[in-house]
Amino acid sequence: MEEDKSNDINYQLFIAISDNDMNNVKELLKLGANVNVESAVNEDFYYTYGYKSYTPLILAAQEGYLKIVQELLKSPGIDVNRKSVYGTVALHRASAEGHVEIVKTLLAVKGIEVNVADPKSGFSPLISASKRNHAEVVQILLDTPGIEINKTDAYGRTALH
């Protein structure tokens, strides 16, 4: 018999984020939903929505849900640098999708790793934004203290290639 996960609070958090449902996100966080849980623990969510091993923050950042990102960042213990099974973080996804305000919001978080690289492709957030022609995000990242503009990907290319 397959387990019904519809009452799982963490599963419900992913659904609320996917639906951009701020009211439910807030309520689920109040009830103790885990902001660092990976969607891989919910196979139903993966098969329905296609996001494997995303955290709530990575999902909200990728989808461009600024208000949800801001709400999640208020949660005690949130790990802004938590990686998916693929090695990406929220800053990667926001940069790759060109979500300017989310990139700014994430960069304002103390301890954010701005040069973290995807282990397979070697893409940093800067390379991800550059490859997708998100000029405003590229400029924001270039203006960020500590950014490694000459960081190379797995193929030896920088953000300028």
The predicted-structure confidence for 54-70, as pLDDT tens digits, reads as follows 899 999 999 999 999 99
Identify the burial level of 91 via C-beta atoms within 10 angstroms of its C-beta, where 0-12 means exposed, 13-18 middle and 19 or more buried.
buried
The predicted-structure confidence for 123-136, as pLDDT tens digits, reads as follows 999 999 999 999 99
pLDDT interval class at 5 (50, 70, 90): very low
Q: What is the model's pLDDT at position 6?
A: 44
**What's the whole-model pTM score?**
0.88
Look up the CATH number of domain 5-109.
1.25.40.20
* Residues 6+ positions from 112 with CB-CB distance below 8 Å: 80, 81, 91, 106
Q: Which two tokens stand for residue 139?
A: 């400029």
